[in-house]
Structure formats: structure tokens, C-alpha cells
A and B are shown apart, each in its own frame.
Chain A
Amino acid sequence: DVKVTQSSRYLVKRTGEKVFLECVQDMDHENMFWYRQDPGLGLRLIYFSYDVKMKEKGDIPEGYSVSREKKERFSLILESASTNQTSMYLCASSLYLGGTEAFFGQGTRLTVV
């Protein structure tokens, strides 16, 4: 059974903290993605990675960075958390960019206070 696992279901952090969201996939996929999901806005792409150490900005990269040191792991970093980064964060992986389905993790609900 294919799996994308996000390290936390719920997180509460303080404004200004550095926050790490971790994602691991067991499908040997080349491509991994980070989205945020907000009511009325759907899923918006933050960053994606098509290979180890490679990354591309999505539609809303400001305030975020990513790290992909190993094929199976993709980390999202909030350098200095702000209240407007309170959201549901979803990690996904896919075999091919854009041409096959993406498999999603269960999501991390982050609250910044």
C-alpha cells in the first residue's frame, strides 16, 4: 500500500519560530510537493522537487523554504512563522510531473499564535 506520511497531524507554534514540516514517501517517486489548503482557496502549491537537492517555486513560496536531501524525504521550512501561515499543509508525491496522479499525506494542521 503506497504511503505518504507527514510527521505531525497538529502543530501549534509561536510567531517568529522556525518550523519544520517533514514528509516521507515509500513509493520511490522522483517528485514531491508541498501545498497549503485554506477555505475558499483550495490547494495552492508552495514548492515542489523533481529530484534530490532540486527544488522549484510554486505559486506561493514567500516565507517558506524546502529541503530534499534524500529521495524519500521532503521538508518544508517556515523560517519565521507568522499568523498568516496558519493553515493545513499537504505533502504529495508523484511518479511523473503533471502526467500521473499525486498521492497525498494526511495533512498537518499548523496554528501559529
Chain B
Amino acid sequence: GESVGLHLPTLSVQEGDNSIINCAYSNSASDYFIWYKQESGKGPQFIIDIRSNMDKRQGQRVTVLLNKTVKHLSLQIAATQPGDSAVYFCAENRDGNQFYFGTGTSLTVIP
């Protein structure tokens, strides 16, 4: 499954499938990006980050891709599990001081 930026805030995938969550950022000068996961009733948790001098970064079951040409960021989750159900936010650092967060995508994993 795949979401498209801020216009499709929900995504449902079957357990075991791969998930792709997308995010469009606004400032071509942004140089650092983070994906956060927020489970119900909890604060956001860091998943993975990427700096603008990279196109791709991999973690455990997660990959972040950065396309600076079109100002697009994506989070890929491999073999999605029920515990991955949460809201996922991208955050961009535009001015060196603070992060700007997207509105988030709600991921639901169907057993």
C-alpha cells in the first residue's frame, strides 16, 4: 500500500505486506529529515533520519528515501506487523532551529 503526502491520511495494509508512506516537504533548503511513529496515547518516537546529502538510509525493516528534486520523502516498512499500526509523521528541519511536522498518516495493519 502507498499513501500520497498529506491528502491521504490513512493507509491499510495486510500483515506481511510492505508499506510505503509518503511525505512532501516544502523547503528545498531543508537539510535534515526525521520519521516519527506515534502510537495511540503515546508521544512520537524516532524511527529513522536522513540528511540531505543522502538519497537512502536503511534501518531494521525500515528504509527512508529522499528525492530532493521533487522534495519528496518516503518511509518503507518491510513485512508490516500489527505492532506497526500507528500514525507516522515526517519532520523537516528548514532553518536550523526547529522541525516542521507533517499532519501524519495513520497506518492500520490488517491481520
What residues make up the interface of A, taking CB atoms closer than 8 Å to B?
Answer: 4, 33, 35, 40-45, 48, 56, 58, 90, 92, 97-99, 101-107
Which secondary structure dominates chain A's binding surface?
A: strand
Q: Assuming A97-B96, A98-B93, is B42 touching A106 (CB within 8 A)? A: yes
- Complex CA distance for A105 and B49, rounded to whole angstroms: 19
In the complex, whether B5 has a CB less than 8 A from a CB of chain A is: no
26 contacts between A and B (CB under 8 A): A40-B103, A41-B103, A42-B102, A42-B104, A43-B44, A43-B89, A43-B101, A45-B98, A48-B97, A48-B98, A97-B96, A97-B98, A98-B95, A98-B96, A99-B32, A99-B93, A99-B96, A101-B34, A102-B34, A102-B46, A102-B99, A104-B45, A105-B43, A106-B41, A106-B43, A107-B43
Most buried by B among A40, A56, A99, A103: A99
Total residues of chain B contacting the partner, CB 8 A: 22
